[in-house]
Amino acid sequence: MTGNCVQRFMLDDLDIRGAVVHLTSVWQQLLQERDYPAPVISLLGQMSATAVLLADNLKQPGRLTIQLRGDGPISLLVIDCNQALNVRCMAQHGKDIDNDAHASDIDLLGQGQLLLSLDTPAMHEPYQSIVPLTGNNIAEIFEHYLKQSEQLASRFFLAAGPSGIAGLFLQKMPTTDERDRDGWARMEALACTVTSNELLDLSAERLLARLFHEEDVRVFAAQEVTNNCPEDWEKVGNMLRSLGRGEVYGALQERGAIVIRDDLANREYRFDKTAIDTLFKNTPETPPTVH
């Protein structure tokens, strides 16, 4: 199994582009202490691989956030990735998800929506796109989305498990048919022969040589993918201060401590009475007694 990177490639003679992504230790870090059931790991992993492949196309600093919301056993999948390929993710699911271990992707998601948001410093407000879930699996959902939004035929081949995730992306360019009218159909047919084990175990170079050995494939330098989510106590503290002294101390008195869970970053912030007193020490009111 390979490392944590994305590698773009071009089939120069056909004007077809693509990319290969592998995540191993980064994916294991993303799953750490989450205890997701196997169906959730599979769908979240496939979607994470897809999000990284899409974020790798960002031309300027920015953040791509993708959400799948549905009324099925897996109600929410969220992936967040910036132009530096720093990725975060989370999922929400029902308690009886293990009973649906053999259900299809679309049955697990149910009826719902794909929400894509792109935020860059140059934008006055984030770009958002909301479309119904169309397709039988994660790959088909995003293939349909790209065909509608970019008017370009695209294919995703995805694999995911507890130890790693991988994906192959292939996209037809506007000039592809001018180069070779049958080129896209041939390359798509070859890509369809890829197996999950090959996606997970072969390096980008070996995978592309196996699939397109008769073509001139130009492979670009690998781009590292990370999961770097440092603690941000100041941000959480400011959020608590914005709630107001009365509401925060009321919650503290009721619960004994305030715990803020950042699901996307897979991090928990715990504030006891001493921490809350310190947070509000510059306010003139005397805090209520907490037993």
Q: How many CA atoms lie within 13 A of 122 on its CB side?
A: 6
pLDDT at 266: 77
Give yes or no: residues 254 and 111 share one domain: no
Would 181 be classed as within a structural domain? yes
Would 291 be classed as within a structural domain? no
Give the residue-averaged pLDDT of 57-69. 91
Which domain CATH number covers 275?
3.90.1280
Evaluate whether 128 touches 144 at the Cβ level (below 8 Å). no
pLDDT at 264 over 80: no
**Domain containing 207: what range?**
5-224
pLDDT at 279 over 60: yes
Give yes or no: residues 186 and 273 share one domain: no
Give the residue-averaged pLDDT of 172-198. 96
The closest of 191, 183, 182 to 155, measured between CA atoms, is: 191
Distance CA 151, CA 276 (A): 53
Would 289 be classed as within a structural domain? no
Give the residue-averaged pLDDT of 154-180. 96
Give yes or no: residues 206 and 263 share one domain: no
The closest of 48, 54, 98 to 74, measured between CA atoms, is: 98
Give yes or no: residues 157 and 209 share one domain: yes
Evaluate whether 115 touches 128 at the Cβ level (below 8 Å). yes
At 117, the amino acid letter reads S
Binned at pLDDT 50, 70 and 90, residue 276 comes out as confident
Mean per-residue pLDDT of the chain: 90
Would 287 be classed as within a structural domain? no
Would 290 be classed as within a structural domain? no
- Please give the share of the chain, as a percent, with pLDDT higher than 70: 94
Give yes or no: residues 199 and 274 share one domain: no
Number of domains in the chain: 2
pLDDT at 278: 86
Give yes or no: residues 195 and 51 share one domain: yes
Give yes or no: residues 66 and 203 share one domain: yes
Residue bearing the bigger pLDDT, 98 or 206: 206
Give yes or no: residues 112 and 9 share one domain: yes
> What would the DSSP string read from start to end of 257-289?
SEEEEETTTTEEEEE-HHHHHHHTTTSSSPPPP
Binned at pLDDT 50, 70 and 90, residue 255 comes out as confident
Considering just the CA atoms, what is the radius of gyration of the chain in Å? Answer: 22
Evaluate whether 14 touches 229 at the Cβ level (below 8 Å). no
Q: Model confidence over 228-246: pLDDT tens digits?
A: 877 777 888 888 888 888 8
pLDDT at 219: 96
Would 106 be classed as within a structural domain? yes
Binned at pLDDT 50, 70 and 90, residue 287 comes out as very low
Give the residue-averaged pLDDT of 244-262. 84
- SS3 state at 197: helix
Give the residue-averaged pLDDT of 42-67. 93
Give yes or no: residues 25 and 146 share one domain: yes
Binned at pLDDT 50, 70 and 90, residue 9 comes out as very high
Would 275 be classed as within a structural domain? yes
Which domain CATH number covers 30?
3.55.30.10
Binned at pLDDT 50, 70 and 90, residue 24 comes out as very high
Would 288 be classed as within a structural domain? no
Give yes or no: residues 153 and 268 share one domain: no
Give yes or no: residues 36 and 91 share one domain: yes
Residues counted in the chain: 291
Give yes or no: residues 126 and 253 share one domain: no
